[in-house]
Structure 1
Amino acid sequence: MKRRTFRAEGARVGRPVAEAVAAELGLPEEQARGLVDVGAVYVAGRRCRDAKARLSAGQVVAVVLEEGGQSPLAEAAPAPSFQVLHEDAEVIAVDKPAGLPAQPTEARVGASLVDQVGAYLGREAGLVHRLDRETSGVTVFGKTPQATSALAAEFREGRARKRYVATTGPGLPSSGTVDLPLSKDPARPGRWRASRAANGIPALTFFRTLYAGPDFCVVELLPQTGRTHQLRAHLTALGAPILGDSRYGGARSAAGVDAPRCLLHAQALELGHPRTGAPLRLEARVPEDLLRFFARAGIEVPRGAIPTSLEEA
């Protein structure tokens, strides 16, 4: 049996069980509620089937992740399917749906994206970069070892250009650069902090605010490095966490529109083709949960070539 155990401390005190489990495991709250519903969550040693029950200080929560080699939700939560954006002899690019992990994890519920793409291809898919579970958008895989190695070099050597879009809390300036280093937050496991006060790893993000209103902002993000939780931590450091990002304090709604997950989308990717070297530009349609905020703001999704600087944006 595999299980994850944590204690209700700090921000977890007073939170609903499902919300705390979702934050601890990095799951969408719907899947966390499913774990509660099937009896896989124990609070203070007793099975808890009330997803809204609030935690008291010091209570220990145990979540059964796997029993008999199978997830408690293996039958209840089939993995969502992906859309193929581009495929040739060396490369396959897909639009990863929100809620699907990029690769198998200890808290795995259903298949991961790499599992699904491998099943589609009938052989192993070469994973070269990853999106967070709740992040949607463009993901590329190599179809041969040589292609996988070449694609990985595009990311490692900084040649891959990426454009994300997100909805955040209010208060962002019109544009800017964030170069705060990132380090694991010792006070909040699972989070990264953007600060010069710690000995962190370098991280650089350009951003352009497409809409700034009293309730929310819509922002174009151009990460120049590819660090874990980089965009989430940098936006939090600016005082405007991504809507729906419970781990970083993002609001659950704005202007009467719900944010059911961390509203971050990898909208476009440009990199060299592993065989020909020719530019390969990939775009993934913005999903409905995020597109509603573009509609509310009355703005269009950015298209075309990905800027290399704020001056080009």
Structure 2
Amino acid sequence: MKESAELLAFLLQTQTKLSRNSVKSLLTRGQVLVNDRMEKAYNFQLEPGFTVTIRREGAEQKAPFIGLSILHEDDDIIIINKDAGLLSIASEKENDVTAYRQLMAHVRTSDPRARIFVVHRLDRDTSGVMMFAKSEQIQQQLQNAWQETVLERSYIALVEGEVKRQEGKIESWLQESSTLKMYSSSRPNDGLHAITHYKKLQSNKQFSLLEVRLETGRKNQIRVHMQDIGHPIVGDKKYGSKSRVIPRLGLHARILAFTHPTIGKILRFEAQSPKSFFSPFR
């Protein structure tokens, strides 16, 4: 190509015989290669000299992934959309299929010495956008400057009850009990400082759908803070939920936007909100 453009815009301009939805499907199914690498991000920035190839046979069907799909991959990072129910990484007591193990196998198909590194985690029953690093150096770089690197990190949460305020801020200090359950303290500096912002999207007498933005990223932060305001996340028995209107935890990591650790560009990834989250409002 001869000039800079976002990948989706470039494909729409060049694939004139295809509808917009068909072009998006090419990306979703992993049929678009940029410089021989599969690329799924609509806003991936193409530069002069880049080669874009379309494989008419979908690569996604051949991928051995269980419970995840790759949204973006380059020499430094992998961005995935994780399904609810898939562990990010195995714990000492669990040895199930994990996102980490599958991605390690994925990178080693081209280089047996390749490794991946966990940058942040999503709870097993939380779905959505998640990032891994391809080297320890990139992992440390991202983790050490996480607050400055991440420009947007937002979730969709289905919670119990009618949230009265249109938007709000929850602030506390989080600690972990001997039973590995997080809880809030209102005393300053009594634990890890945690700040959560929320905005109401929909509500009725029984449930509310919230957009939740993290200012800090602590273990179980959203789940604890929703319980703190009397609106636990649907399906979250650990933190006070008594309903199960959907067959999963009502929490989804929808958007992750950040500055790329080496090229310095802003990348933004979005995982579509589960349709089941809207079912209580129909």
In the superposition, the TM-score normalised over structure 2's length comes to 0.69
Q: 1:181 aligns with which of 173, 183, 192?
A: 173
> In 2, distance between residues paired with 1:152 and 1:267?
20
Select between 258-267 and 204-213 the one with higher mean Cα deviation: 258-267
> In 2, distance between residues paired with 1:138 and 1:275?
20
Contact 1:165–1:218 under 8 Å retained in 2: yes
> In 2, distance between residues paired with 1:239 and 1:250?
10
Q: What corresponds to 1:302 in structure 2?
A: none
1:268 aligns with 2:248: no
Q: Deviations over 1:24-71 (max 9, x none)?
A: xxxxxxxxxxxxxxxxxxxxxxxxxxxxxxxxxxxxxxxxxxxxxxxx
What secondary structure, in the 3-state scheme, does the structure 2 residue paired with 1:133 have? coil
Contact 2:81–2:128 under 8 Å retained in 1: yes
RMSD between aligned residues: 2.1
Unaligned stretches of 5+ residues in structure 2:
1-63, 109-113
Q: CA deviation at 1:153?
A: 3.1
Q: Deviations over 1:127-163 (max 9, x none)?
A: 1101111111111111233332332234255644200
Q: 2:281 aligns with which of 282, 297, 304?
A: 297
Q: Which amino acid aligns with 1:116?
A: Q
1:113 aligns with 2:99: yes
Contact 2:160–2:208 under 8 Å retained in 1: yes
> In 2, distance between residues paired with 1:160 and 1:114?
24
Q: 1:284 aligns with which of 271, 274, 280?
A: 271
Q: Which amino acid aligns with 1:193?
A: Y
Contact 1:181–1:200 under 8 Å retained in 2: yes
Q: 1:90 aligns with which of 72, 76, 93?
A: 76
Equivalent positions of 1:137-286 (< 5 A) are 137-155=128-146, 157=148, 159-172=150-163, 173-185=165-177, 189-197=179-187, 199-253=190-244, 258-286=245-273
What secondary structure, in the 3-state scheme, does the structure 2 residue paired with 1:233 have? helix
Equivalent positions of 1:2-13 (< 5 A) are none
> In 2, distance between residues paired with 1:105 and 1:295?
33
Answer 1 or 2: which has greater strand percent: 2
Contact 1:79–1:110 under 8 Å retained in 2: no
Q: CA deviation at 1:296?
A: 4.2
Q: Deviations over 1:93-119 (max 9, x none)?
A: 001111111111123142221111111
What secondary structure, in the 3-state scheme, does the structure 2 residue paired with 1:140 have? strand
What secondary structure, in the 3-state scheme, does the structure 1 residue paired with 2:201 have? strand
Q: How many residues align?
A: 212
Q: What corresponds to 1:309 in structure 2?
A: none
Q: Percent identity?
A: 32
> In 2, distance between residues paired with 1:157 and 1:276?
15
Contact 1:204–1:223 under 8 Å retained in 2: yes
Contact 2:227–2:239 under 8 Å retained in 1: yes
> In 2, distance between residues paired with 1:249 and 1:155?
30
Select between 98-107 and 150-159 the one with higher mean Cα deviation: 150-159
Unaligned stretches of 5+ residues in structure 1:
1-77, 299-313
Q: What corresponds to 2:3 in structure 1?
A: none
> In 2, distance between residues paired with 1:96 and 1:174?
29
Cα 1:296–1:208 change in 2 (3 A) is: same
> In 2, distance between residues paired with 1:200 and 1:82?
33
Q: CA deviation at 1:174?
A: 1.2
Q: What corresponds to 1:81 in structure 2?
A: 67
> In 1, distance between residues paired with 2:151 and 2:115?
23
